[in-house]
Each structure stands twice: as structure tokens, then as C-alpha cells.
Amino acid sequence: MANTQTRQITVLQTAAILVSTIIGVGVLSLPLFAARAADSAAPIVTLFGIIVAFIGLALITWLGIRFPDHTIIEYSEQILGKWIGRLGSVCIIVFFAVLTSLTAREFGEVVVTAVLKTTPVEVTVIVMLMLAAVSARKSLTTFAYIHNFYFPLLLVPCLLIAILSLSNAEIINLQPMIWSKPNHVLLGTITIAALFQGSFILTLIIPSMRQPKKAMKASVYGILIAGGLYLVIVSAAVSVFGAEEIKKLLWPTLELAKGTNLPANILERLDAAFLAVWVTAVFTTLLSSYFLTAYAMKQLFRLREHRVFSFILFPFIFFMAMIPQNVTQLYGIIEHVGRFGLIITIAYPAVLLLLAMMRKKRGQVQ
């Protein structure tokens, strides 16, 4: 239960956590998912995905405001009863453990393909997971400070590269903004919304906020900044390459950085600088999902510390990360897991909120 000593996280820090968690490994393949779904109307599909993601974020924010002293692991038991609530919590833990493993594996594949071509993928995955495991042992307040520190280092370079790339843009590539297959648009919207699932970390943050009632403000800031950046990146990629060319690229955003240079040719290619920023983005995303998994386990088992789970989770997450045989299989799994995850990150909170309102369940700030 939260008290005045533990309530140290501000609205801006919460927004920074949301943005640096959402902007992660998926930024490289985002234009590909959007272009596959709706060709030149990829920015529209991205916008739909952002709206769906915000609906999910709004639901967990309302729940958090309604139960400002508790996380979803705790108040789900108050709403659903002890055993059903615990079953829901187990589903959350398993899902975010799987999400952590897929994020780590995707990171490893990009690094060994684009940078360290003779390094085994297992090495890069182990290094990043170990970094996340050590960082996840810290307190919630330190966790917030880590995100706050990296936030400007992520946002400014990503936005700069996207804006500079527009100098190579051809508006004709964005026309006409229509699509012929509504079912592809629906699947694309769900896939893009799944890239925002890290925002579920808000369920742990609200009990430590100085002003839990202002959590919705942080959510709006977070989704506007992260969603706005994603929209700019997709629009830039489609306008530079065209939808058909994007479908042939595995990581269109990386190709966008390669074709972008700073004014006066200070740097002719920005892909190296972009990858450095991207590694940081992956770390903050991985840290959030790893921390969420360990912290949720602590609350499920009613322990005082979550540190014990940091290294216990490591071998299981690493094993899951190594299951996909290749990049193609990996992205197929990521799409299916992401779509299934919306049941946990959107549908489950919607049911909890509905039942809490019907049964008039509410927490009180101490």
C-alpha cells in the first residue's frame, strides 16, 4: 500500500516512462506492418492503432485512479475474487515474460544482422537480458529516474531523423490514401496497437505517483508523444520509399536512417547514430517489461521484495527467446503474441473496470 513517502513519481516522469517504454524494438519494423496492412494508407492505419492503444491505456488509467493505492495484481482480487484474480495475474506475468523474451530476441537479430555480423545471437541476447535483469532489481523510484534520464536521448534523435528524412519525401507515394482489404486494415490496426502494450507498466506506477488523480494527463502526454513519433516515422518511410518498396524491407526505419544526412553533410548516413539510440530504446522497453514481470510476481506471492525474481526469471526468458528458428518465424510469433496480448492489456482491464463500477468497488488514498 502506498504512502506519502513512496509517492515520489510526478506526472512528467510518468509520461516519460510511458514514452520510453512504448518506443522500443518495434520502431524498426513499424512501417512494414503498416504498409502490409494498407499500402499508401499506412499512416491512417497507424493512427487507428494509436487510437486503439489509447483506449487500452485509458482503461488502465481509470482503474488506477479508482484504486490509487493498488496495482492491477492487487485490485483484480478485490474485484474478481481471490482465485480468479490470481489467475488473471498469472496470465499477465506469463504474457509479459514472453513479451520480454521476444523483445530481447528481436534486438539480438537486428544487432547480429546490421552491426556484429560474426557474433552469435545468443551472446547479444544474454548481454541485453543481463543488463535488464540487473537494472530491474532497483526500486520503483530508481526505475522512474532511469526512464527520465533516457527520455530526451530517445525522443530528440528519433524525431530529428524522421524530420530530416522528409527532405527525400515524395508526396505522390502517400496517394491515394485508400485501402482495398478491410480485414488487412483490421489486422494491421491490432498489430500496431500491440506495439504500445508496454504502457501497461502504468498499472505499477500509479500507486507511487504524487498525484494519482492526474494519471490521465500523463497518459495523454505519453500517447501523444509516442504515437506522434510513430505516425511521423511511418509517414516519412512511406513518402520516401513508397508502400511497395517498404514491403521488401525487413527494417524500413533503419533504411530511412541510412538515406538521411545532416545539413552540410556533417554526417552522410545516420544509421550508426540511429542504432545507438535504438539500443537505448530497446533497453528501456525491456527494462519495463522485465520489471513489470518481476514486480507482479512479488505481489502475487505477497513478498516484500521483487529482487529475488530478477535472476530467477532470467533462464526462462532466455530459453523462450531462443525458441524461434529464424527472423521470419520470430516476426510471425511477435504478431500473434501481440494480437493475443490485447485480450490481457485491453479486454481484461475493460472487464475489471465494468465489474468495479457495477459492484461499486473503489480504493481510497491513504
Burial of 168 (0-12, 13-18, 19+ CB in 10 A): middle
Among the listed residues 299, 254, 184, 222, the one whose alpha carbon sits nearest the alpha carbon of residue 56: 222
Range scoring the smallest mean pLDDT among 47-56, 207-216, 265-274 = 265-274
Cell numbers at 48, concatenated: 487507428
How far apart CA 208 and CA 289 sit, in angstroms, is: 18
Residue 222: predicted pLDDT: 92
Among the listed residues 280, 318, 283, the one whose alpha carbon sits nearest the alpha carbon of residue 97: 318
At residue 179 the predicted structure's pLDDT band, cuts being 50, 70 and 90, is: low
Residue 241, pLDDT > 90, answer no
- pTM for this structure? 0.89
Residue 321: predicted pLDDT: 92
At a CB cut-off of 8 Å and minimum separation 6, what does 235 contact?
Answer: 42, 43, 174
Average pLDDT over residues 1-25: 79
- How many other C-beta atoms lie within 10 A of the C-beta of residue 145? 15
Dump pLDDT digits (tens) for 82-107.
Answer: 899 899 999 999 999 999 999 999 99
Reduced to 3 states (helix: H, G, I; strand: E, B; else coil), residue 79 is helix
At a CB cut-off of 8 Å and minimum separation 6, what does 4 contact?
Answer: none
At residue 5 the predicted structure's pLDDT band, cuts being 50, 70 and 90, is: very low
Q: What is the rounded average pLDDT for all residues in the chain? A: 86
Quick one: CA torsion of 336, 47, 196, 153, rounded to 10 degrees? Answer: 130
How far apart CA 33 and CA 191 sit, in angstroms, is: 7
Residue 15: predicted pLDDT: 93
Residue 219: predicted pLDDT: 93
How far apart CA 77 and CA 308 sit, in angstroms, is: 23
Residue 266: predicted pLDDT: 59
Question: DSSP E strands: which ranges in the chain?
Answer: none
Dump pLDDT digits (tens) for 327-364.
Answer: 888 888 988 888 888 999 999 999 999 998 888 777 65
Residue 92: predicted pLDDT: 93
Residue 4: predicted pLDDT: 45
